[in-house]
Structure 1
Amino acid sequence: MKILRTPDARFADLPDFPFTPHYCEVKDSDGTSLRIHYVDEGPRGASPVLLMHGEPSWSFLYRKIIASLAARGHRVVAPDLVGFGRSDKPAEQSDYTFERHVRWMSDWLAATRLTDITLFCQDWGGLIGLRLVAAFPENFARVVVANTGLPTGEGFSEGFKRWLEFSQSTPTLPIGQIVGMGCKRGLSEIEKAAYDAPFPDESFKAGARRFPALVPITPEHGSVAENKAAWKVLEKFSKPFLTAFSDSDPVTKGGDLNFQQRVAGASGQKHATITEAGHFLQEDKPDEIADLLDRFIASTK
Structure 2
Amino acid sequence: MQVLSADLSRFADIPDYPFSENWVTVDLGDGHSGRMHYVDEGPKDAPTILLFHGEPSWSFLYRKMIPLLVDAGFRCLAPDLIGFGKSDKPDDIGFYSYDRHISWLGQWRDAVAPQDAGLFCQDWGGLLGLRLVGEAPERFQYVVASNTFLPTGGTPSPAFLAWRTFAKTSPDFQIGELLQRATATERSTEEVAAYDAPFPDEPSKAGARAFPALVPVEDGMDGIEQNKAAWKGLAGFSKPFLTLFGEDDPVTGGLAEPLIDNIAGADGQPHGMLSTCGHFCQEDRPIELAQGVIDMAKKAGVI
Equivalent position of 1:89 in the other structure: 89
C-alpha distance in 2, partners of 1:114/1:232? 22
| Deviation sequence 1:226-253 (CA, Å, 0-9, x none) | 1111111111111111111111111110
AA paired with 1:34? G
Using the TM superposition, name which of 247-256 and 108-117 deviates more: 108-117
C-alpha distance in 2, partners of 1:89/1:51? 20
C-alpha distance in 2, partners of 1:282/1:159? 22
Using the TM superposition, name which of 105-114 and 54-63 deviates more: 105-114
Residue segments in structure 2 that go unaligned for 5+ positions in a row: none
Equivalent position of 1:119 in the other structure: 119
AA paired with 2:300? T
C-alpha distance in 1, partners of 2:280/2:29? 33
Equivalent position of 1:203 in the other structure: 203
AA paired with 1:128? L
C-alpha distance in 1, partners of 2:257/2:272? 11
Aligned residues: 301
Using the TM superposition, name which of 107-116 and 78-87 deviates more: 107-116
C-alpha distance in 2, partners of 1:186/1:155? 33
Please report how far the alpha carbon of residue 139 of structure 1 lies from its aligned counterpart in structure 2 after TM superposition: 1.4
C-alpha distance in 1, partners of 2:275/2:117? 26
- Contact 2:141–2:300 under 8 Å retained in 1: no
Equivalent position of 2:70 in the other structure: 70
Equivalent position of 2:19 in the other structure: 19
C-alpha distance in 2, partners of 1:252/1:106? 25
Residue segments in structure 1 that go unaligned for 5+ positions in a row: none
| Backbone CA RMSD of aligned residues | 1.2
Equivalent position of 1:296 in the other structure: 296
- Contact 1:157–1:251 under 8 Å retained in 2: no
Equivalent position of 2:156 in the other structure: 156
Please report how far the alpha carbon of residue 137 of structure 1 lies from its aligned counterpart in structure 2 after TM superposition: 1.6
SS at the partner of 2:63? helix
- Contact 2:176–2:194 under 8 Å retained in 1: yes
What TM-score comes out, normalization by structure 2 length? 0.96
Using the TM superposition, name which of 104-113 and 172-181 deviates more: 104-113
AA paired with 2:263? V
Please report how far the alpha carbon of residue 98 of structure 1 lies from its aligned counterpart in structure 2 after TM superposition: 0.4
- Contact 2:240–2:269 under 8 Å retained in 1: yes
Please report how far the alpha carbon of residue 13 of structure 1 lies from its aligned counterpart in structure 2 after TM superposition: 1.9
Please report how far the alpha carbon of residue 160 of structure 1 lies from its aligned counterpart in structure 2 after TM superposition: 1.8
| Deviation sequence 1:71-98 (CA, Å, 0-9, x none) | 2221111001100001110010011000
Equivalent position of 1:37 in the other structure: 37
Equivalent position of 2:272 in the other structure: 272
- Contact 1:241–1:265 under 8 Å retained in 2: yes
Q: Does 1:234 align with 2:234?
A: yes
Using the TM superposition, name which of 262-271 and 151-160 deviates more: 151-160
Equivalent position of 1:286 in the other structure: 286
Using the TM superposition, name which of 23-32 and 193-202 deviates more: 23-32
| Deviation sequence 1:191-232 (CA, Å, 0-9, x none) | 000000001111100000000011111112111111111111
AA paired with 2:144? V
What TM-score comes out, normalization by structure 1 length? 0.97
Please report how far the alpha carbon of residue 172 of structure 1 lies from its aligned counterpart in structure 2 after TM superposition: 2.4
SS at the partner of 1:28? strand
C-alpha distance in 2, partners of 1:32/1:213? 23
Runs of 4+ in 1 over 3 A off after TM superposition: none
- Contact 1:36–1:82 under 8 Å retained in 2: yes
C-alpha distance in 1, partners of 2:184/2:162? 18
- Contact 2:247–2:274 under 8 Å retained in 1: yes
